[in-house]
């Protein structure tokens, strides 16, 4: 098994309220991707493969990193449809979309728990399907040769880490809320299992002049 470094995309359109309008990098998101690529080159970090989801924000982030690797696109690396799920939660259970960061922090685990318990009718995919596609694509990537970079989204990364550590929805939600844009998260095979050896690393943003660029949304 080869180790995998999961990367969250750069800052997207944080003012969006639907999937389509969210799916593009902000000017800062483009810059974050450039800084991450510079860091990987200057630190001579070795990777032989690059994977991304098929969402625009994944592709733009990978392009901005300029790794020199030919990307493999896989829709199984796409994010859960949070805005769609939140709309269903409001329509079916009367719980409104949050208006600020504090509200979002309480809303996310509620969305996850309602979705997991199959109390949302006609979601874009089931929670079990989301879990399954993440497990299958990471297993396939792990069977390849050499360390891999995987550009994806925060919800998927939190699920991958939760699977590796046996975490429930509350801990998974706290993890998802903490994940910064263009942060790195590494899963390393130890004893036939995934072990997280890196979480939420942003060395490319950890300077005085760049700390304001450490964004979560």
Rg (CA), the chain: 17
Task: Please determine, for residue 1, whether its predicted confidence score (pLDDT) is greater than 70.
Answer: no
Predicted local distance difference test score (pLDDT) of residue 163: 94
Backbone torsion region of residue 122, taken as left when φ is above 0, otherwise alpha when ψ lies between -120 and 50, otherwise beta = left
- In this prediction the pTM is 0.94
Domains and CATH numbers, the chain: 12-75 (3.40.50.1240), 79-144+155-184 (no CATH)
Instruction: State the chain's mean pLDDT as an integer.
Output: 94
Which stretches does DSSP call E strand in 61-156?
Answer: 71-73, 148-152
Task: Please determine, for residue 15, whether its predicted confidence score (pLDDT) is greater than 70.
Answer: yes
Average pLDDT score over residue span 112-127: 97
Q: Which of 40, 36, 41 is nearest to 64 (CA)?
A: 36
Angle at 163 between CA 161 and CA 167, to 5 degrees: 85
Report whether 182 contacts 154 (CB < 8 A).
Answer: no
Percent above pLDDT 90 for the chain: 85
């Amino acid at each position: 098994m080869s180790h995998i470094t999961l990367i969250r995309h750069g800052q997207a359109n944080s003012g969006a309220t639907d999937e389509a309008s969210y799916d593009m990098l902000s000017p800062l998101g483009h810059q974050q991707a450039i800084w991450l690529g510079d860091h990987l080159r200057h630190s001579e970090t070795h990777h032989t493969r690059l994977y991304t989801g098929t969402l625009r924000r994944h592709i733009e982030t990978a392009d901005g990193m300029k790794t020199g690797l030919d990307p493999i696109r896989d829709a199984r690396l796409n994010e859960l449809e949070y805005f769609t799920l939140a709309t269903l939660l409001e329509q079916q259970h009367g719980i409104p979309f949050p208006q600020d960061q504090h509200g979002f922090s309480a809303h996310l685990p509620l969305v996850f728990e309602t979705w997991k318990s199959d109390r949302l009718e006609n979601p874009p995919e089931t929670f079990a399907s989301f879990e399954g596609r993440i497990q299958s694509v990471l297993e396939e990537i792990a069977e390849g040769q050499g360390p891999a970079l995987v550009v994806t989204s925060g919800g998927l990364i939190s699920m991958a880490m939760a699977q590796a550590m046996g975490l429930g929805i509350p801990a998974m939600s706290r993890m998802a809320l903490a994940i910064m844009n263009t942060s790195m998260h590494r899963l390393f095979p130890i004893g036939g299992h995934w072990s997280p050896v890196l979480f939420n690393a942003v060395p490319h943003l950890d300077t005085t002049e760049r700390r304001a660029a450490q964004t979560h949304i």
